[in-house]
Chain A
């Protein structure tokens, strides 16, 4: 399995590694979302705009759960849904889970694809080669010299 992302030019004119996905909302409506590939994030996190578009029921985390970033913790909810990734060649893979979503629309500019999803893949982020790749069998990477 090979899923290709891209180095996306964002509004602050920084270029970031992004994977585009479909996310299932209410009534089986799928919304497009561009996820920052963030190997430093423990969990995949939706931004508030995506959560609002999905129109799905949410649940509150337990009181001892928190989601912490560099600037502190942020209020979040949990939502059960599906992230669909498009594989090179045209097939599609869906990952069903309970995802976290921030509720402050200004908390993060983009949704984040964290290690809960990334751990299923070999993750390649190569700016020199302009590649953002998620690999799983039957694809793999090989490091060559020269």
Chain B
């Protein structure tokens, strides 16, 4: 749960549009496909990354994981190793165990 309080935030204006440019659609399709490869790889390799990744940031590019203390560092490592892969993904791995109840802030 994330709750918005005060100000003008509760009613943001949103504009929805369709992508019609065939070249843009193809670029997007390819990027989604690369991200899917990285996501599938990560899900299959968590046992290899844990517990080392606990409390750290994991970025995956080229179906290879890069673990660092900061998101920027993990992302830099991933994109330096695989500059051709614009489907890189990242995630912060919380060190705490147990179920989470909605979003935790603070």
The chain A residues found within 8 Å of chain B, CB to CB, are: 6, 8-14, 20, 22, 30, 32-34, 38, 40-43, 45, 47-49, 52-53, 61-62, 64-74, 84, 86, 90-100, 102, 104-110, 112, 114, 116-117, 120
- Having A43-B4, A65-B5, one finds 17 other A-B pairs with CB under 8 Å, namely A14-B100, A40-B102, A42-B4, A47-B92, A48-B71, A52-B75, A61-B7, A62-B6, A67-B3, A69-B104, A70-B104, A72-B105, A92-B19, A97-B14, A105-B70, A108-B103, A110-B92
The answer on a CB contact under 8 Å between B57 and A49 is yes
* Minimum Cβ distance to chain A for residue B59 (Å): 9
Interface size, B (range): 35 or more
* Minimum Cβ distance to chain A for residue B8 (Å): 7
The answer on a CB contact under 8 Å between A109 and B93 is yes
**How far, in angstroms, from A18 to B83 measured CA to CA in the complex?**
25
Chain A positions within 8 Å of B36 at CB level? 20
The answer on a CB contact under 8 Å between B53 and A34 is no
* Minimum Cβ distance to chain B for residue A139 (Å): 15
Chain B positions within 8 Å of A52 at CB level? 71-72, 75
The answer on a CB contact under 8 Å between A97 and B13 is yes
Among B5, B9, B101, the most chain A Cβ lie within 10 Å of the Cβ of: B9
Chain A positions within 8 Å of B84 at CB level? none
* Minimum Cβ distance to chain A for residue B76 (Å): 10
Chain A positions within 8 Å of B28 at CB level? 22, 30, 84, 86, 92
Q: Can you identify 25 A-B contacts, CB atoms within 8 angstroms? A: A12-B97, A22-B31, A40-B1, A40-B2, A40-B102, A42-B4, A49-B71, A49-B75, A61-B7, A65-B7, A68-B2, A68-B3, A69-B103, A70-B1, A71-B104, A93-B17, A94-B17, A95-B15, A97-B15, A104-B105, A107-B104, A107-B105, A109-B92, A109-B93, A116-B14
The residue that A68 contacts in the complex, of B5, B15, B58, with Cβ under 8 A, is B5
Chain B positions within 8 Å of A53 at CB level? 75
